[in-house]
Amino acid sequence: MASMHRPVMLQEVLRLLDPKPGMTVVDATVGYGGHARAILERISPGGTLIGIDLDGEALSWTERITAGSTASVILRQGNFADLGSILTAAGIREANGILFDLGVSSPQLDDRERGFSYREGTPLDMRMDRGQELDAARVVNEYGERELARIIREYGEERWASRIARFIVEERERAPIITADRLVEIVKNAIPASARRRGGHPARRTFQALRMEVNGEKRNLERALPQAIGRLGKGGRIVVISYHSIEDRLVKKAFRDSARQCEIPPASPARPSRGALLRVLTPRPLLPSSSEAADNPRCRSAKLRAAERTA
């Protein structure tokens, strides 16, 4: 299964993260271990890799493929929104590198039971952590019309969000919406035929919005970034690959804020040292090469940003 997940922008990640023997590196979205394996090779011997993921199945796989490494491997099922406490509990104070490769992995997308795709008969699930209660069926059947419209507009950047939300609410009164194909039909009916012909699968944006809501993706990233920056040792690097403009904007802003000069007035009793926390290494985000995008269409929307801890 793991062979189906090709680590996105691997060469760029390795160049910017710059892992070396003995280093401590956190892979905050370790998934099926694609990036992690390459990082482990670079930090061995003697280094430590901490791999975090919400998905217990992915972690079991990664545990198997990393067994026998000469570096130490610490795998934790958890949310990167709790990065600080996960690292503290693992006895890690500072890291030389932290990687986030956001979103879902190919094995998650391809496993029909996980409910991420719009194929016929797929249950509306979309939970990365199968232990959590909120799934896509609950969002679709229980959220109010205005809330649904907001999510579809904001996370899906879907201009027909209000109509889609209205059609969902009307349809669910007939019978609960529990499969992906029924939702696809409802979304198709809500989008005028002329608009349906543009921009790929008509339900793509709605499904993306539901996934982001179910997994709290925006909120988790907002919480995680300051903790990650705070846990980098001097010279440590953070690399984030995002697949959605909301995520990329959050990363850009978090890096820019930490890269600004500290503007605390000189009279402040704390007198912190002036100077920024981060130096941005990618003034513009890096994109996958055309050959990688052709080989792996799922990486096409990837944007990579990196920064180095200076103080």
Ligand X SMILES: C[S@@+](CC[C@H](N)C(=O)[O-])C[C@H]1O[C@@H](n2cnc3c(N)ncnc32)[C@H](O)[C@@H]1O
Smallest distance from the beta carbon of 152 to ligand X, in angstroms?
A: 20
The residue whose two tokens read 């993921």 is: 53
CB of 206 to ligand X, least distance (A): 20
**DSSP state for residue 32 in the 8-state scheme:** T
Q: Considering only residues 19, 103, 115, 236, which one is a binding residue for ligand X as defined by CB under 6 A?
A: 103
Is 105 one of the binding residues for ligand X (CB under 6 A)?
yes
Q: Binding of ligand X at residue 231 (CB under 6 A)? A: no
Instruction: Write out the two tokens for 204.
Output: 């793509």
Adjacent-strand bridge partners of 247: none
Give dist(CA 114, CA 204) in Å, integer: 17
Q: Which residues, 4 to 23, sit near ligand X by CB under 6 A? A: 5, 7
- One of 40, 43, 50, 52 touching ligand X (CB under 6 A): 52
Name the residue nearer to ligand X (CB basis): 51 or 202. 51
Q: How many CB atoms lie within 10 A of CB 284?
A: 9
Q: Binders of ligand X: how many residues, by CB under 6 A?
A: 23
> CB of residue 241 vs ligand X: minimum separation in angstroms?
8
Which residue from 17, 26, 33, 96 is in contact with ligand X, where contact means CB under 6 A? 33
Residues whose CB falls within 8 Å of the CB of residue 147, separated by 6 or more in sequence, listed in order: none
Q: Based on the shown chain and the rule CB under 6 A, indicate whether residue 247 belongs to the binding site for ligand X.
A: no
Contact 101, 35 (CB under 8 A): yes
The answer to whether residues 83 and 10 touch, using CB atoms and an 8 Å cutoff, is no
CA dist., res. 49 & res. 71, Å (int) = 7
Q: For ligand X, which residue of 24, 29, 258, 282 counts as binding (CB under 6 A)?
A: 29
Round to whole Å and give the CA distance between 190 and 215. 25
Minimal CB distance to ligand X: which residue?
A: 34
- Contact between 116 and ligand X (CB under 6 A)? no
Binding to ligand X (CB under 6 A) within 63-92 occurs at 79-81
* Near ligand X by CB under 6 A: residue from 9, 18, 31, 75: 31
The token pair at 106 is 């190919």
Q: Where are the alpha helices (DSSP H) in 18-160?
A: 34-43, 56-66, 83-89, 106-110, 136-142, 145-156
Which among 101, 102, 74 has a CA at the least distance from the CA of 88? Answer: 74
In the bound state with ligand X, the residue whose beta carbon lies nearer, of 58 and 240, is 58
Tell me which residue of 281, 144, 289, 156 sits closest to 213, measured CA to CA: 156
55 binds ligand X (CB under 6 A): yes
d(CA 46, CA 33): 19
The site string for ligand X over 123-152 (x = CB under 6 A, - otherwise) reads: -----x------------------------
Q: How far is the CB of 214 from ligand X (least distance, A)?
A: 11
- Which residues of the shown chain bind ligand X in the complex (CB under 6 A)? 5, 7, 29, 31-35, 52-55, 58, 79-81, 101, 103-105, 128, 215, 220
